Amino acid sequence: MIKAGIVGGTGYTGVELLRILARHPDVAITAVTSRADAGVRVDTVYPSLRKLVDVSFSQPDIDTLADCDVVFFATPNGTAMQMAEALLERGVKVIDLSADFRLQDVKEWQQWYGMTHACPDLIKHAVYGLPEVNRAAIQQAQLIACPGCYPTAVQLGFLPLLEQGLIDSDHLIADVKSGVSGAGRKAELATLMSETGESFKAYAVSGHRHLPEISQGLSLAAGQAVQLTFVPHLTPMIRGIHATLYARLQVGAENIQALYEQRYQNEAFVDVLPQGAHPDTRNVRGSNNCQIALHQPQGGNTLVILSVIDNLVKGASGQAVQNMNLMFGLAETTGLEIVALYP
């Protein structure tokens, strides 16, 4: 059994990890940390985990976590980088769900995240954990930088076109909507349901922290720098990401539906819908799936790609477990064959 630890077990992504790992046939949850709830049983704080998780929250202590085979960081930005090096030196694999190791340019990271990176030399050893792109590297990795929720939906939507050079990479648009759980489990006026309900708004239009991460991934796929306009929106729902992506097709680009179907035909968690379909976030809610559909309005040269995921699963904790499975030589789908919740 893989001994797994979770740092930050009381946030939404931490609880989602507990939900998934509690039913994983090859995992034993041996450590779950929370400074505020140290000493309290996990299933006391989250009764949904009764009879599934038999541990108490503990302090985030390196010696305790070093007994694990893998440690997940479901923590705010800036936490994993304080502990990752010590755990790696003790032979523990690290999967970071925050942004600490996602950007290869440390100066750019510091600019966007407003802090000095604690272990910049470790960044080059981190593997970006998007399995549909980096599967082979993930299998050999000791440190995984799990993608953000927006970057997952956007990259999976654009990748096949950029890889084949079929779109104008200087004019990409990502118009993306997220449920309020993407803001994390904290008390903030702007994300209270009574504030977000019956309302809809864009935010961070001048620049969102996920923009450089998305641009980095798309540029690697294209083999050159891309120009992306990324506008996130907050919607009055709890879970879900809906990305509406716009791209100008190059002359001669055709059979786009077949291209997507072939690119993702062996991907267990990417489902290319029939051309003209309209994916709905509720059809992936609670699952590790990404559903994609393609549209070419009025037969013009603008392609519209619709990409939907659950921000807490494929956009975070499910993808983290997908990475863990690859790192430990397990079937990639182990513990993740979760049917979406409906309604």
How big is the CA angle at 199 (ends 193 and 205), to the nearest 5 degrees?
105
CB 172 within 8 A of CB 250: no
d(CA 106, CA 92): 24
CB 26 within 8 A of CB 32: no
d(CA 95, CA 206): 30
Name the nearest CA neighbour of 231 among 277, 269, 185, 200: 200
d(CA 299, CA 111): 42
Burial class (CB in 10 A: 0-12, 13-18, 19+), 252: exposed
The token pair that represents 324 in the structure block: 């863990």
d(CA 290, CA 270): 5
Please identify which residue in the block is written with the tokens 């499910």. Answer: 318
CB 243 within 8 A of CB 154: yes
CB 287 within 8 A of CB 312: no
The token pair that represents 237 in the structure block: 């729902």
Which residues does the annotation mark as catalytic? 149
